Structure 1
C-alpha cells in the first residue's frame, strides 16, 4: 500500500452538478473503470471484454488508466473488500449495489496507485453523484474514503499479507499441490501488476534496448509497460506480439517445424500460431470462436504471417493427420491470475472437473490427428494438476500408441528450471525472481511432449 497522501482540499465539492462533474479531467477514466467493475462483478464479463463500453473517442491514456484501476481492483479484491467492510459495519446499501464499484475504484487509487488522495476521493464522490441510484450516498462515499486515507494501516491489521486476495478454495488446492511456502509465494506474486512480455520476429536484443526491457533466457523480451501497447514502437509495424514468456514455451517443444504440417488447436488469439508460422511451418489454426478467430486474423495480418484458419470445434475437427499437433487446451486459467484477476471471481471448484472432462476429449482427438511418428504437445495455463499432469498420465495409461518424449536438461535454452522429474514443463507464478517483483514471475503453465508410435 502506498503511504498516506493527505487531502489538500475538501474532496466533495458540494453543489457541483453531474454535468460539470463529467467534464472534470480524469472523470471519464474513472467512470469507465467503475463500469468495468460492474461488468465483471455483476454481469460475469471477462476482464479483456469489460471495457467494451468505452466511448469511441476516449483518449487512449484514459482507457489505459481505466484498465489499470479495474485490473488492480480485481487483483486486490480480497483486501479491498475486507477494508471497506471494516469501515461499513452495516454493509452496502441494498438499494445501490453499484456503490461497491465506486468505492472499490476509489480505494484502489488511494491504496495502490500513484494518485493524490484528494483526487481519488473527489472523483469518486462525483461518480456517485452522477448516477441517480448512488447520488444519495455521495456523502457516504466521501466519509468512507476519507477515513480510508487516514486509517488504512490500522484497518489492515490481521489480514494475511499474501493470501488475503486468494480465494480460500484456490489457496487450499495450491497448498496441497505445491506446499505452503510455494503457494504463499505464488499468491504474493498475484498481488503485483505483471510486466509485459513480447515475442519478437527478430533481434530480441535490439528490441529490448528500444523498449527499455531485457531479453529473458528463453528469448522473450520483458518490459515494464509504458502506456498503451498499440502505441509502443514496433507494434504497428508488426515487429512483435504480446505473449507471456511461459505461453511461448509450448510451441518450442515441437522442435524444428520448418516445412512441416502443424495444427494449432484452440488457437485464438494466435500467439502460438504466429510462432509456428514464423518458424516456417505450414500452420492450420483451429478455433470454435468466430470472434476470437477475427482477432487471430488481425494479428497475423499485422505481423505479415500466414496460416490456414478454420472455424471448428477442436474436438471434432477432421483435418490431418499432421506432422505435429499443438493443443493448448481450454482450462481454468488459474496460472494467469496475475494477468487476468477476473478468473478468481469467475471460477469455482466445480469448473475444474468440467474442464478436465473437456480436456480429456480434446487430447484424445489431438492424438488421433497426429501422424505415426509425429509429435503432440499438450499444454494448459492452469496450476491445477487435474488439467495438466493427470491428463497426460490418463492418456498414456489408455493409449499404447502414445509415448512421452521427456525434455532433457540443456535441450532448449532457458527451460531447465521448469523441467519436472518426468520431463514435462511446469512453470509457476513465483518462478524467475529477477529483482523487483514487477519484473519477476511467469504465468503458470504445464506442457508435455508426446509422440505417436506405429
Structure 2
C-alpha cells in the first residue's frame, strides 16, 4: 500500500465529532504519549503519573488509564516487531513528516497483535482517530487497509516475526552484544519482552508471605509473585509495614556489608528507601542522603509505614561533608537504568549512548567523593541498575587504578546465600534479566545490577 504524498489536501478537512466515540480518547492519549516517548524522549512514568502526568492521560478514568498504560508498554516492548509487520504492508516507507500517523498505527498494532482487544475495534478506532486529525485525515484509507491486513495475517506472521527480531534500538543492541556476547545479549532482549514479576522484601518469614500472596520464595530470600492479586496498597501487610516492593537484584547490594549491627552507615542517593530499610533492619544507624526534597519525603513516608527511622539529609552529594566519617557507605548511583527495561520498556527509546556516557561520568565523580565519606578501614559498596560496563565494571576498575587509598574487597563464593551465580571473577556482582531461570518467563529473571565492594585503607 502506498501512502499519499505529504502536504495539505486541497479539500476542506472534515471534522469528526468524536466526543461520544467509546474508547477513542484513550487511543488518542496513547498515541500522544507514544509520540512524547519516541519523538521527545520523555520517560513514560512521568507521563502516566496519576497526579503530575500528561493532561490527556489525567483526563481519563481509571479503566482507560490502565488501557493506555497497557498499550504503551506493549507498543514499546514489541516496537521492532510491530515496525517490521507494519512495514511489510507498505509499498514504501511513511513520509518523514508522518510521525503522527506512525504512532496511530503502532497503537492499533499493539492491540491487534498482543492485547485482548477485538481487531475490529482497534481498526475502527484507529481510522476514526486518523480522520479526526488534520495531519492524518488523508491517510485514513491507508490506516484501514494496513491494519485489516495485519489482523488477517497475525496468526501466521507474528511468531516468525518475534523469532527473527530483537526488540531494541540499534545502539542498545550493539552495547549489549559488546558487553555480553551475541547469545547472552539475545537472551537479555528476549527477557525484556516479558513483564517483570513483583518482588517483595519481607521483614520476617518469607514462606508465610509467599503463601499469602500465592508466590514463591527465591533462593535470595525475596518473595516473588508473578501477578499481583490486588493493588499493592490493598495487600495484607502493607498497612502494617511487614514488607516493601523491591526487585530481588536491588536487594543484594545492601547485604554485601556483612554484619553492620551498631555501625554508622550512609545510604547515598537513598530514595525511595528500600536499601535504607534493609540497612536499618540489619542493625545499623543509618543516614539517608538524597538531593531531591520530594524523593526524600517519599523515603520518609516509606520508612514511616515500615516503622523504621533514619537520619535524613537533603543535599547534593558532591557537597556533602559530614562531621564524622561513616563505618560503611552504600552508593546506589543514578544511572541509565538499562537494567530495568522489563519494568520500563521506554528506557532504550528515551536514552542514548551519549546519556550513558554522561551518567557514567556523574557516577565517577559521585564515587570519588563517596570514598572520602568512609573512615579508614571502613567498607563501601557501589551499585547501580545499569547493564552497561562503563557504568559498572569499567568505572570500578578505574577507581581502584586511580586511588591507592581504596582496595578491592572481593565478594567470596559462599559468603552470601544464593549470590554465587552472579559473582564475576573479580569478586563483583553482576545480574541481568536473563539470569535466575525458574522455568517460566513470568517468574524468572532479575533486574540488571552491578555491585562492587571496596575497603578504604588510608
State the shift of 1:415 in Å: 0.6
Measured after TM superposition, the shift of residue 171 of structure 1 is 2.3
My pick for the range that moved more, 190-199 or 173-182, is: 173-182
* Contact 2:108–2:122, Cα closer than 8 Å, also in 1: yes
> Secondary structure of the equivalent of 1:417?
helix
Using a 3 Å threshold, how does the CA distance of structure 1 residues 174 and 94 change in structure 2: closer, same or farther?
A: closer
What secondary structure sits across from 2:287 in the alignment?
Answer: strand
1:222 is aligned to 224
The alpha-carbon deviation at position 339 of structure 1 amounts to: 1.6
What RMSD, in angstroms, separates the aligned Cα atoms of the two structures? 2.6
Whether 1:78 and 2:80 are equivalent positions in the alignment is yes
Aligned length: 437
After superposition, what is the alpha-carbon deviation per residue over 1:392-416, rounded to whole angstroms, capped at 9, x for unaligned? 2112112222112211222111111
Shift in alpha-carbon separation, 1:65–1:406, aligned structure 2, 3 A: same
Q: Which position in structure 1 is the counterpart of 2:377?
A: 373
Please say if residues 95 and 133 of structure 1, whose CA atoms lie closer than 8 Å, have aligned partners that are also in contact.
Answer: no
Q: Residue 106 of structure 1 corresponds to which residue in structure 2?
A: 108
Partner of 2:191: 189
Residue 135 (structure 1) shift: 5.0
What displacement does 1:255 show?
Answer: 2.0
Structure 2: tracts of 5 or more residues without a match:
1-14
Q: After TM superposition, list the pairs within 5 Å mapping 1:139-288 onto structure 2.
A: 139-152=141-154, 159=161, 161=163, 163-226=165-228, 228-288=231-291
Are the equivalent residues in 2 in contact too, given 1:64–1:228 (CA < 8 A)?
A: no
Match of 2:452 in 1: 448
Match of 1:419 among 423, 428, 451: 423
User: Would you say the 8 A contact 2:166–2:186 is kept in 1?
Assistant: no
Q: Which residue of 2 aligns with 1:410?
A: 414
| Deviations 1:86-128, CA, capped at 9 Å, x for gaps | 2233444666533322222221121122332223323334444
| Other structure's SS at 2:19 match | helix
What CA deviation, in whole Å up to 9, does each residue of 1:359-386 have, x standing for no partner? Answer: 2111111110011121100012112111
SS in 1 for 2:20: helix
Tell me whether 1:322 sits opposite 2:345 in the alignment: no
Aligned ranges 1:391-402 → 2 under 5 Å = 391-402=395-406
Q: CA deviation at 1:69?
A: 1.7
* Cα deviation, residue 58, structure 1: 5.0
Which residue of structure 2 aligns with residue 300 of structure 1?
303
1:43 aligns with 2:45: no
Call closer, same or farther: CA 1:418–1:145 in 2, change over 3 Å.
same
Q: TM-score by structure 2 length? A: 0.87
For structure 1, the 5+ residue unaligned runs are 1-14
Provide Cα deviations, 1:166-193, integer angstroms capped at 9, x if missing partner.
Answer: 2222222322322221111111111112
- Matched-pair contact (CA < 8 Å) for 1:246–1:444: yes
Residue in structure 1 matching 2:438, options 421, 425, 434:
434
Residues 102 and 364 (structure 1), Cα distance of their counterparts in 2 relative to 1, 3 Å cut: same
Quote the Cα distance in structure 1 between the aligned partners of 2:119 and 2:241.
40
The 5 A counterparts of 1:309-348 are: 309-319=312-322, 320-348=324-352
Q: Shift in Å at residue 272 of structure 1?
A: 1.4
